[in-house]
Amino acid sequence: QVQLVESGGGLVQPGGSLRLSCAASGRIFSINAMAWYRQAPGKERELVAVITNGGIGNYADSVKDRFTISRDNAKNTVYLQMDSLKPEDTAVYYCNANLRPTGAYSAREYWGKGTLVTVSS
């Protein structure tokens, strides 16, 4: 059974930093892109950042130059370093991975359960 488990959310003041982690576990043959999404109260889920298995990242305009996505392929883990946080970054952050389980014919999307980030003074 493949699982994605996020950690690192919490309460932070505006201008502060947080680092989110997401570890994929289970019988995994390969992982393609990994990503972070977020969903604020009353809003739709949106893509925050995505990283290829080669380490190339892309960002939403709203977080560019403030957030950094990275991954450790040996640990099947993706990170999101969030700096200069703003109240509008408050949301539940979800990890996403396009991965192929061992024994499967193809890859599909997997999601974590989310971790809450609150930016408030």
Query: What is the predicted pLDDT for the residue at 121?
Result: 95
Query: What is the predicted pLDDT for the residue at 24?
Result: 98
Query: What is the predicted pLDDT for the residue at 61?
Result: 98
Query: What is the predicted pLDDT for the residue at 119?
Result: 98
Query: What is the predicted pLDDT for the residue at 71?
Result: 98
55 vs 81: CA distance, rounded Å: 15
Query: What is the predicted pLDDT for the residue at 107?
Result: 97
Show pLDDT as tens, one digit a residue, over the chain (121 residues): 899 999 999 999 999 999 999 999 999 999 999 999 999 999 999 999 999 999 999 999 999 999 999 999 999 999 999 999 999 999 999 999 999 999 999 999 999 999 999 999 9
Q: Between β-strands 108-111 and 46-51, what pairing exists: parallel, antiparallel or unpaired?
A: unpaired
Are the beta carbons of 89 and 81 closer than 8 angstroms? Answer: no
- CA–CA distances in Å: residue 18 to residues 43, 116, 119: 22, 11, 10
DSSP β-bridge partners for residue 30: 100
